[in-house]
């Protein structure tokens, strides 16, 4: 099939990338690959530590897909062993060791979700338990001898934890070595990862060199701030947009990001080219309109343009025209909770799942956050007449239609 010119490939590869260590080596690898008509081996390791992939950790996956489109071999490592340790990168405490069952369940959902991004028919898929499971203690010692404590402690995350007296367990120091060992085992030419992975990626280079292999090129992509606009997008912070979320939900979450993150989201979370992005972010386009385009582009990336269009219209209907959303969840109240066709408003909120406790429901009501058929209820002692089909709204964006069941 033949590869494109190395320089052309590099230009595509460079898009939305922070570091390439080293770029001259990458160019050289690309040239040789073309001359020998041999695909490069591009590695991406994913630790199945959470059940969902979000648009933040999807960034390097998209980069892997770009390499794949250029004809290179995508190697996906499911870090079932590394997930047990938990990547200490950026963490301020030891991550909980995950159970084998949890990890394997997550790995399953990962693979399903990755199909939205990568051609999974063409990837080389490996679990790193393949080599770690049978590793002997002497091999571990041998591996651990390859790096010094001082080198490890150069890392800001470890240094900070150490100096502020937060425990660091020995097994956490093993993590970068494990990741590097993966590179050794799959003979990667390039490894992808977020910028916070640079250290781990460089360890891979060192190990390969030590073992007499050609070192991999480390390529890092930016980290994406979550919908809170503050911290890195992550499952545990709940500030993420999952790639399998419903279009409406995806759209809504995208609309809630800060204006100054739009550019970053456009580059990293959509397929839009630079020119259209610049046009949208031009000062005479209202930021809200630009953001709607962004939200559509994100939905379109994981669903399709029709779904994106529908989500956009639906959003406008609810938040611009203040009409009811189309697919209101329907909640049935058990008949025995009604008295003379009435229910205590607090009970209503708890039974319909809006709040977990009575206290929380009381607060919401007292603060004017609850309305029924557009009428605000502020009295937490109120008894509400249940009319099947009535619409309860809690806060700005949670709705449900109420019915009665048995």
Partner RNA sequence: GGGGAGAUUCCCGAGUGGCCAAAGGGGACAGACUGUAAAUCUGUUGGCGUAGCCUUCGGAGGUUCGAAUCCUCCUCUCCCCA
* Number of residues that make up the chain: 406
Give the N- to C-terminal CA distance of the chain in Å, as an integer: 64
Smallest separation, CB 395 to RNA (Å): 2
Those residues with Cβ within 8 angstroms of residue 217's Cβ, 6 or more apart along the chain or in another chain: 20, 21, 22, 23, 25, 26, 29, 189, 190, 191
Interface with RNA (CB under 7 A), residue from 344, 351, 352, 372: 344
Q: Per CB under 7 A, which of residues 1..20 are in contact with RNA?
A: none
Q: Are 272 and 297 in contact (CB under 8 A)?
A: yes
Is residue 353 close enough to count as binding RNA by CB under 7 A?
no
The site map against RNA for 237-276 (x = CB under 7 A) is --------------xxx-xxxxx-----------------
Is residue 282 close enough to count as binding RNA by CB under 7 A?
no
Is residue 364 close enough to count as binding RNA by CB under 7 A?
yes
Q: Are 365 and 379 in contact (CB under 8 A)?
A: yes
Torsional sign, CA 302, 305, 310, 313: positive
Is residue 104 close enough to count as binding RNA by CB under 7 A?
no
With respect to RNA, which residue has the nearer C-beta, 29 or 253? 253
Tokens of 157: 């995350």
Smallest separation, CB 279 to RNA (Å): 17
Smallest separation, CB 140 to RNA (Å): 21
Q: In this chain, which stretch among 115-123, 159-167, 192-200, 214-222 interacts with RNA, using CB under 7 A?
A: 159-167
- The H or E element that residue 79 is part of is none
The count of chain residues that interact with RNA, using the rule CB under 7 A, is 41
Cis peptide before 150 (omega within 30 of 0): no
**Residue whose C-alpha is closest to residue 172's, from 94, 113, 116, 235:** 94
In angstroms, the CA 375 to CA 392 distance is 9
With respect to RNA, which residue has the nearer C-beta, 84 or 380? 380
Interface with RNA (CB under 7 A), residue from 108, 341, 353, 368: 368
**What letter would DSSP give residue 97?**
P
With respect to RNA, which residue has the nearer C-beta, 120 or 371? 371
Q: In this chain, which stretch among 75-83, 166-174, 191-199, 268-276 interacts with RNA, using CB under 7 A?
A: 166-174
Smallest separation, CB 400 to RNA (Å): 14
Spacing of C-alpha 289 from chain mean position: 25
In the complex, which residues of this chain contact RNA (CB under 7 A)?
A: 162, 165-168, 228-229, 251-253, 255-259, 287-288, 291, 315, 319-320, 344, 346-347, 357-360, 362-364, 367-369, 381, 383, 394-398
């Amino acid at each position: 099939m033949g590869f494109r010119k190395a320089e052309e490939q590099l230009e595509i590869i460079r898009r939305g990338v922070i570091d390439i260590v080293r770029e001259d080596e990458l160019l050289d690898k690309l040239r040789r690959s073309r001359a020998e008509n041999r695909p490069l081996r591009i590695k991406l390791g994913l630790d199945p530590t959470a059940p969902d992939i979000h648009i933040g950790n999807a960034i390097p996956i998209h980069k892997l897909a770009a390499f794949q489109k250029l004809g290179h071999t995508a190697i996906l490592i499911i870090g079932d062993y590394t997930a047990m340790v938990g990547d200490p990168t950026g963490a301020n405490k030891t991550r909980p060791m995950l159970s084998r069952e949890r990890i394997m369940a997550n790995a399953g959902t990962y693979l399903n979700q990755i199909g939205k991004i990568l051609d999974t028919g063409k990837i080389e898929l490996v679990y790193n338990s393949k080599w770690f499971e049978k590793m002997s203690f002497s091999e571990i010692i041998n591996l651990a001898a390859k790096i010094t404590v001082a080198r490890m402690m150069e890392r800001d995350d470890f240094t900070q934890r150490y100096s502020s007296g937060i425990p660091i367990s020995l097994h956490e120091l093993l993590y970068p070595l494990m990741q590097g060992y993966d590179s050794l085992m799959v003979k990667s030419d390039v490894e992808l990862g977020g910028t916070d992975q640079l250290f781990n990626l460089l360890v891979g280079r060192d190990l390969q060199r030590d073992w007499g292999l050609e070192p991999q090129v480390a390529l890092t992509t930016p980290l994406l701030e979550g919908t809170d606009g503050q911290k890195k997008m992550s499952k545990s912070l709940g500030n993420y947009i999952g790639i399998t979320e419903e279009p409406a939900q995806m759209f809504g979450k995208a609309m809630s990001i800060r204006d100054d993150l739009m550019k970053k989201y456009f580059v990293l979370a959509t397929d839009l080219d630079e020119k259209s992005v610049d046009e949208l972010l031009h000062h005479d386009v209202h930021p809200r309109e630009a953001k709607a385009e962004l939200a559509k582009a994100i939905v379109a990336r994981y669903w399709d343009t029709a779904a994106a269009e529908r989500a956009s219209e639906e959003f406008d209907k609810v938040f611009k025209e203040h009409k009811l959303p189309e697919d209101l969840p329907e909640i049935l109240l058990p008949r025995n909770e009604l008295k003379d066709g009435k229910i205590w408003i607090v009970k209503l909120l708890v039974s319909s799942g809006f709040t977990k406790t009575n206290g929380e429901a009381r607060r919401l009501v007292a603060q004017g956050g609850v309305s029924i058929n557009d009428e605000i209820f502020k009295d937490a002692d109120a008894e509400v007449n249940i009319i099947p089909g009535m619409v309860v709204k809690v806060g700005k964006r949670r709705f449900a239609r109420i019915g009665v069941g048995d």
